[in-house]
Structures are given as structure tokens and as C-alpha cells.
Amino acid sequence: MPAPADPAPLGLAGFALTTFLLSAKNAGWTHGTDAWLGYAFAYGGLVQLLAGMWEFRNRNVFGATAFSTYGGFWIGLGLYVKLVAPTAQNGSQVSNDLAWILLAFLIFNSYMLLWSLWTNWAVFGVFLTLEVTELVLVIGNFNENSNAVKAGGVIGVITAAVAWYTSAAGVINGMVGRSLLPVGSPPAGNVGRAAPAVTPQPVPQR
């Protein structure tokens, strides 16, 4: 049976687009619209979750864990906004809920950030910028500080841009058979046990 195509560029694209839309809202650029919500279910959620399942088929535990978890994050966040937030007694409860949700994913992201040192610089950059985004949003929501939430939104846009670049590198490099868009070597070098990279080396087309 031939190996399946690399699902990482698709998963990264779903993550990037949904992160961009929500971050633009958090930054105050979208005048309060919820354009991100539908894509939290369909693209950042379902499509990214499917990418995670395909990564299991590729025996890539790192990619499978990352994509499946953040696919679940987007679906869960969408359900919270649609089903739970409208029943909250006040805005403070929603901010506190979001802070705890983001804190939980910050803990997850922290060990994924550490392990991403054995992937490549592009993937490491995604997890690093996401770590900062989540940290700033946790602080902003716990303290109900709108300026911190806006700052988290701006950093989130940067995170989306890094994820889009990494996705584009996976698509383009795989098609041309060389590293046209560089992703770098593993930041940790050859120290310790290497994890499988989310974006593998390009494979020349026949």
C-alpha cells in the first residue's frame, strides 16, 4: 500500500486560518464580528482533526498529537461560545472560563514546544509564537485586561503567519522536490532522541 500524502500542510493551514480570524477579533480589527466561529468547527476543527488522524497513519506521534489536540481545541471553543457562554451570568465569568481553557492548552503547548526542538525551526516557530499568544491571553482574561487581550490578538496573527509559511513550505517543497521555502534544521540538533518532523523533507515527484 502506498504511503499517504503528507497531511501536515493541510493541518497547519486549518490552524493558521482559524487562528488568524479569531486573533483579528481579539486584536479589535473586526469590529466584534465572529467570522472565526464557523471555521472553528469546519476548518480549524474538523479538517485539523482529520489531519491528526492521518498523521497516526503516517506513524507521526508528534503531528498526530498536535493536530488532533488543536482540532479538538477549536471544536470545543466553538461549542463553548455557542452553548455555554450565552448562559453565563456576566462577562467576568466568560473571561475566567476562557482563561482556564487557555491555561490548560498552554500547559499542553509547553511540552509540545519543548519537543518541537527536534522538528525544524519553522515548526518550532509555530509553537513558540503560539506559546506567547496563549500566555498573554491567559493573563488578559484572568485580569479582564482588554489591552492584554488585544496584544494577544496581534501575537496570534503573527502565529498564524508562521503557521501559513510552514504549511506553504510543506506544499511547495514537496511539489518541487527541494527546499524552495526553507524550514531549517532541528533547533536541538542531534542532541537526544529526534522526533519525526511535522513537515518532512521534500520528496521529488515522479
pLDDT for 202: 35
Instruction: Give the model confidence (pLDDT) of 87-122 as tens digits.
Output: 998 989 999 999 999 999 999 999 999 999 999 999
172 pLDDT more than 50? yes
194 Cβ contact partners less than 8 Å away, ≥ 6 residues apart: 118, 186
Name the band, by pLDDT with cuts 50, 70 and 90, for residue 16: very high
State the pLDDT at residue 4: 77
Q: Is residue 185 part of a domain?
A: no
Tell whether 186 is covered by a domain. no
- pLDDT above 60: residue 44: yes
| 168 in any annotated domain | yes
In a domain, 201, yes or no: no
Q: Quick one: average pLDDT of 74-85?
A: 97
Number of H-type helices and E-type strands within the chain: 7, 0
Q: Is residue 157 in a domain?
A: yes
Count how many domains the chain has: 1
Position 61 in a domain: yes
pLDDT digit string, tens, across residues 134-149 = 999 999 999 999 999 9
Note the pLDDT tens digit of each residue in 124-133. 999 999 999 9
In a domain, 53, yes or no: yes
- Model confidence over 173-205: pLDDT tens digits? 999 999 999 999 999 987 765 455 454 433 333
Nearest by Cα to 163 from 8, 12, 14, 44: 12
Region 77-87 average pLDDT = 96
Could you list the residue range(s) of the whole structural domain that residue 59 is in?
Answer: 8-176
